[in-house]
Amino acid sequence: MSESQQTIPTPREQRVADFKVRTLPMIVWFVAAALAIGLLIGRGQDFEYVGLANSLQYEVSASATGTLETVVVDLYDTVHPGDVVAKMDDAPLLAAIDTANGALAQLRAELAARRIEILADRGADHADRSADLRRFQVDEEERRLEILSLRVQIESDEIEVERLRLEAQRARPLLETGLIGQQEFDNFTLLYDSANTQLAENRVLLAQTEEEFRVAQGRRTSFESKMPSFANLDTLLEPLRAAIGVEQARIREIELTREAMLLRSPIDGQVSQILCRSGQAVVPGEPILTIADQSVSEIVAYVREGDSRDIAVNTPVLVASRTRPGALSESVVVRVGESIAPLPQRLWRDQRIPDHGRALVIAASPNMDLMPGELVGVKLLRR
């Protein structure tokens, strides 16, 4: 080749095309690999520990041995404080009410016999005064017995009203799905309304009778104050008064038992577990169902076994949701586990091999709006 020959330059368009085909893909791949490595490293730094957003769990159990009549709620139902979630069998309580009614009837008969005896003793002035006092005492005890009878009746009414309320409550979904007609549903509500009206009337009657008792008590007290020389005239009615006191205590026991038959939700929450079914015998303290609070109370992260870092209470941390990028908040460690314990299975690196570690309890931040059970990442903040 002669010296006069010159190299022909590659056209600009060709150089650009060669760059796009050969060089640019290699640059893109290198940048992507570097970013991926950086993200992996950053993720390991951002989330030193993994934890769970926990909510309070409340176990609902019976206070006495008995048979579970029905569980009113279904799994994942939302409940509010005071809602009835289960009901114990009321057969033993109804038997106790029948026994109390029988005992009160016997006491009323004995009190009527005492009244006849008092009227037969009237004669001399001294006897008349004593008989009048005893008559006032009998009036007072009769009002007291009537109060006890009404309280027993109200307890029976309460049981019936609650039974009919639950039946009407169960009938509504059947109406909405067409399994029962409107007339049948109306029958349920009519029975409930009728029983509720009867209960309200008996409560009004009880209030009136209690007022009559106070009047009779005041009349007897006023009469006694005017005859101080005859202070000890209680021997005739004392056995009856003692028996009425026993029945009063028994009726109080019935009232407490009836209230304990209805198992109620202690919180606003959601039914997370149903552990017993209708007809099952239960004992005190045995969980029948579990209700989960719908708000997160704390975050529990875990320091895996072998991590030698010393983490103390009040250590600042950054908490971030693993499922919602950008949802993060600063918080502090409020408690530190003192022993190595198994981690929840969700946090095992290999689902076939359990992991162990120490628990870190972290204060939940309300502004993160975490869901119970949500996975979170935790990073220690050095200040």
- Say if residues 107 and 247 touch (Cβ distance below 8 Å): yes
CA 9 to chain centre: 86
Whole-number pLDDT of residue 61: 93
pLDDT in tens, 73-101: 999 999 999 999 999 998 998 999 999 99
Average of pLDDT values for 183-189?
85
What pLDDT is stored for residue 178 in this prediction?
A: 81
What is the pLDDT of the chain when averaged over all its residues? 83
Residue 188's pLDDT is what?
A: 85
Instruction: Assess whether pLDDT exceeds 70 at residue 182.
Output: yes
Least confident stretch, 107-121, 145-159, 292-306: 107-121
Beta strands in 186-309 (DSSP E): 262-264, 269-274, 281-282, 287-293, 298-304
| 351 Cβ neighbours under 8 A, 6+ residues apart | 345
Report yes or no on whether pTM surpasses 0.95: no
Give residue for tokens 């104050």: 225
Q: What is the pLDDT of residue 45?
A: 45
Is the pLDDT at 368 greater than 70, yes or no? yes
Full set of structural domains in the chain with CATH: 49-55+296-380 (2.40.30.170), 89-259 (no CATH)
